[in-house]
Structure 1
Amino acid sequence: MWVTGSFVLALNSAKSFESVRSIRLGAIVDEQDPIGPAAIEDMKRVHSAAPAAIVFEGGRCVWLSGDAARGKFESIDGRSLDATAFSTFDTASLHAATGAPDIRFDLVNGESSSRCRGSEAATEIVVEIEGEADGRTENSRSTLEFKHGTASLTGLSIVLLLASVLGLNDRVPARPGLYLPELLSDSKWFLDELRSAGATISEDSK
């Protein structure tokens, strides 16, 4: 569920583009993150059940495994880290929402930028987008850092999504039905709530 933050961050950044060519998402789960044994066991179970990762390449859904799943990820502090493609509903949701033909999510389990700076472990998300804006090719890089742990970010995301379902964020309550949870909230409202809870979010375009 913590990856919902990456979807919302990407969706909010994509609003500044007329069309989106590619979306690269990356996340670091710090080795010292107080994630808890149940969450770690569940992550291992998911990876063993679905060892291939889903990405979009040239508008086609592709499953990656082995060497093809290996990638690179630039952390908030500029380190180039070895990463592995990670399957998440965010990939399909972003393709549906933006039409971007190339989308990939990479995951790193290692030292976060926060800990490299001598601070506590933090969950770290980076979103890089390339697309067209005002007739020119533009790039954006957005980052989210949350120092209260992956489990806390998961819990906060659940609370915000439930608030959206119930209409507690000044929106109409969701009608009965089946929804992807990350599609229920306004992206700006969601990010503002994350900031209020201690997340550091930056958005840069060039």
Structure 2
Amino acid sequence: MSLHPILFLGGSGAIGHRSAKALRAVYPDIPLLIGGRNLTKAQRAAQEIGGARGVVIDFAADDLGLGDCQVSAVAIFYMDHALDGLRFAQRRRVPHLSISSGVFEIAPQIARFIHNPGAAPVVLGYEWLVGATTVGTLHIANAFARISHIRIDALVDEQDGGGPTVAKDFEHLNKMLPFALTRRDHNFIWREGDDAKVTFLALDGTPMQATGFSSIDVAGLAAATEAPNVQFNLGSGVSSSRRAGLPMSTEILIEMIGEDHENRPLHTRHALVHPSGAAALTGLSVAMLLERLLGLDGAPPTPAGLYFPYQLIEACAYLERFRKEGGEVIELQVQRD
């Protein structure tokens, strides 16, 4: 399949670089444009990735300074507050994937989509690790007929740095929204203060301190499962693998309560663990989304629409690639009160 290059805006950063590597691992010949304000930095990143070209971006120009250069999709790895990338993608009628905005900042993007819904697919890629949590949770949820509670506890190793752009994005998220979007007894609320502080057990059973996090996973999982109670908590510290003397990893703990398909009570707890950390798992998700958007997997390209990542990523294929990279889905013992 011959394609125009995929434009990676912010592709010289850690997450963009890992995403390009994940895409390259499966599609070594797909062309990439690494765009940024600093041409030297973009060209250096493109050279490291291979088969890519670094370009300087003029964010004041309707064509981003690319002129007649054609692209097949736009992936953005920073908070695009001016929506330059989305406007460009809609004008070119190519897929748009952005991964950095907070749940409270999606209104401008949705407004642009509503005014031009037939232009191309737009993916709200703000789920934790761009779909890793929701894809895994919904796969496990197949064992349930009804779900009453979903609790996600994400543990990021303190050594798992995503680069300066990721740090800046998290600083912005924490400053703008210190409360945590949560579904409780069918109502969407904002946890704050002591109500947002929790303790969860890491994979190795170590208690970890965490706070509620306003991940869009909460809204997506509530809509997909109709669960009346959904919460997301985020903690940072030493991961279980590092406590065991191994390299750091990223952990996602998923707990669900409900009934199985024979109306029996069901309470499960699982861990999704990736040995290379959050950036690598994010890269896998971005690569598989671009694959699906453009039809690189042999199926027709994704039609115009507004999507969550879990609506585009096929769970079994995702988990197969996840396991090939050394990831694990581990069933854990449920802690009884």
TM-score range, shorter chain: over 0.9
Larger radius of gyration: 2
2:264 matches 1:136? yes
Equivalence map 1:94-173=2 (5 Å): 94-133=221-260, 134-173=262-301
1:151 positional shift: 1.5
2:314 aligned partner: 186
Spell out, residue by residue over 1:46-100, the C-alpha distance to the aligned partner (whole angstroms, 9 max, x if none).
Answer: 1111111101000110111221111121111112221101111111110011010
Relative contact order, higher structure (CA 8 A, sep 6+): 1
Root mean square deviation, CA, Å? 1.6
Deviates more, 1:107-116 or 1:185-194: 185-194
Q: 1:163 to 1:40 in 2, by over 3 A?
A: same
Spell out, residue by residue over 1:132-164, the C-alpha distance to the aligned partner (whole angstroms, 9 max, x if none).
Answer: 012211111111111212112111110011112
Matched-pair contact (CA < 8 Å) for 1:29–1:150: yes
Residue of 187, 197, 202 corresponding to 1:75: 202
For these two proteins, the number of residue pairs brought into alignment is 206
Q: How far, CA to CA, are the matches of 1:150 and 1:13 in structure 2?
A: 21
SS in 1 for 2:304: coil
**One-letter amino acid of the counterpart of residue 188, structure 1:** C
Matched-pair contact (CA < 8 Å) for 2:249–2:275: yes
**One-letter amino acid of the counterpart of residue 153, structure 1:** L
Name the TM-score, length of structure 2 as normaliser. 0.58
Deviates more, 1:171-180 or 1:118-127: 171-180
1:182 positional shift: 2.6
SS in 2 for 1:2: helix
2:157 matches 1:25? no
Unpaired stretches in structure 2, ≥5 consecutive residues: 1-127
1:205 positional shift: 8.0
Matched-pair contact (CA < 8 Å) for 2:273–2:327: yes
Deviates more, 1:28-37 or 1:119-128: 28-37
Name the TM-score, length of structure 1 as normaliser. 0.93
Equivalence map 1:11-90=2 (5 Å): 11-90=138-217
2:329 matches 1:201? yes
Q: How far, CA to CA, are the matches of 1:169 and 1:131 in structure 2?
A: 35
- Richer in strand (by share): 1
Q: How far, CA to CA, are the matches of 1:170 and 1:60 in structure 2?
A: 41
1:170 positional shift: 5.0
1:3 positional shift: 5.2
